[in-house]
Amino acid sequence: MTLNINCQFDSGNINVIDSQSNPVKLAIRHDHQSDFYQWFHFCVSGAQVQEKLQFSLTNAAGAAFAQGWNHFQVVASYDRQEWFRVATHYEQGELIFDHAAEYDQVWYSFFTPYSWERHQDLIAWAQTSALCSLETLGNTLDNRPLSLLTVGQPGPEKRNIWLTARQHPGETMAEFAIEGLLQKLLDPADACGRKLLENAVFYIIPNMNPDGSIRGHLRTNAAGVNLNREWDSASMERSPEVYLTQQKMRETGVDLFIDCHGDEEIPYVFLVDNQGIPAYGPRLATLEDKFKQQLLISNPDYQTEHGYETDLPGQANLTLASAAVGQAYDCLSLTLEMPFIDNLNLPDATYGWSAQRSSDMGAALLPAMLAVIDELR
């Protein structure tokens, strides 16, 4: 048997140490100019049908969020459309997974990839709606466009709702969430979307980090910069993605902001609030609670028991997007976190947390927005 292991494609990431050993020894490549790594995505061909293959990610212990390996299962696909989980375990610092491939060629990844081609398809589809317009805010360090979708007609009485995704490029579930939200928002038969657009205009950046996405990075852009630590010091030299976004936000104003992410370690869906920002008070607390209560109804995958520890008053990290925006605009500003692993409240043995569930979660944000839209100002 001769195995060919390849990652020379969009978001590909793997180093082959020994393809003839059992298990096959691999290592995850670092983000460029960074210590971060955990995203992997590669293709194996030459696998004999029904022969059980075993792979070892030998440097798993040094990954950015190694605790997340404990419940993790690798995703695999034959057609790059359906991604399913395969048996995986973490032992002695290595992530080991077994798979009896049913076809000669199979893809493996940290989570369902969201390709640059799919991103372009999303942008192209959205701009054809009469409700939506496309703007290029500028270019990234690798000279890729930073695309903004504006949905609805701006006006002085309209609430300005902002959403961003994939500041951390390996968190592909974030762009799947934006895709689901856009499908609902742009559906002319959807009453929730229509009602929201009577009172709001949406500014949506589906992929904040095109360079990192294509390079196969976990958390950084082309310069090795973590964009979600740049919101107090963004520059065109280090973090044009954040700089250009902030420039546009100053032009439009912000009444509600949601930054979409994925969490490598916590196997639940949760929101990160901003109780630690200096601007936080009873008004924002009321809006936040109302939003959360509606989201619990809109999608039972969301829960409020598990998540990050709440910041003490005045102790928020203002380098983070949601904290910086919430403070700058005195607005409801939240981070949506979805799991790489699964939602252990509603586990799915075949798919775990998936692209479809991420999309559904994105769509579920709209009824929660509707619940607070009249109180955002």
List, by residue number, the catalytic residues. Answer: 337
Inter-residue contact 280 to 274 (CB < 8 Å): yes
What is the DSSP secondary-structure string of 226-273? BGGG-TTT--TTT-HHHHHHHHHHHHH--SEEEEEEEESS--SBEEE-
* Residue reference for tokens 């059992």: 22
The label of the residue with tokens 């701006």 reads: 154
Distance CA 223, CA 239 (A): 8
DSSP 308: P
Q: Torsion over CA of 227, 146, 357 and 181, rounded to 10 degrees?
A: 120
DSSP sequence for 97-117: EEEE-SSSEEEEESS----HH
Q: How far apart are CA 363 and CA 365, in angstroms?
A: 5
Q: What is the DSSP letter of 2?
A: -
